[in-house]
Amino acid sequence: MATLHYGFFCAPERPFFLSFSFLMGVIGCVLPTVCKDFDLPSFRYFRMSIFLGMVLSGSLPWAYSVYLKGMTNTLSFIAPISKSGLAYFLGVVVYGHRFPERQFPGLFDTWGHSHQVWHVAVVAGIYYHYQAMVHFFEARYTFGCLSEYGAFERYVQDQGQGRNFSL
């Protein structure tokens, strides 16, 4: 949500995108508690699709940004957060496919099984997300409202010149 906060700071669509993201988070938190069958092995792919949907819910606002600002500008802006999304995505895929315990039965029963790998991926994703948020925070106060004409493009141009806004 913080990426949406900074990326669409002055945009009129910002409340919609924040509400949609919040709704996906609520679904991801409430559904496991109210659905008694959620933890059953037969619901494994359903669980995986819920968590994948939470990860992919961030694509709607950025598709809109591509429409408004173009692919190059949008990809340059969201580059700092891409490591976070990749970590979350890979964690869900590893968990969903039960790798490595499916390929090596018995070897990963205690350590290194997919559920543990998934949690490590989530922690890595949170760390990368934090790094990106510091970057966006500093860029926001350097460039002002990125939704204003020219500010987004100045931000992207400065990124290409190797200026770094991280700690």
Residue 4, CA distances (Å) to 56, 61, 101, 157, 164 in order: 14, 8, 37, 20, 20
Separation of CA 60 from chain center: 12
135 is an annotated ligand-binding site residue = no
Q: CA–CA separation, 136 vs 148, rounded Å?
A: 16
SS3 content of the chain, % helix, strand, coil (to 5): 70, 0, 30
115 is an annotated ligand-binding site residue = yes
Cα end-to-end distance, the chain, whole Å: 21
Torsion sign, CA atoms 62, 146, 21, 120:
positive
Q: CA–CA separation, 136 vs 78, rounded Å?
A: 9
Separation of CA 85 from chain center: 4
Q: List residues forming the annotated binding site.
A: 115, 119
| Annotated binding-site members for Zn(2+) | 115, 119
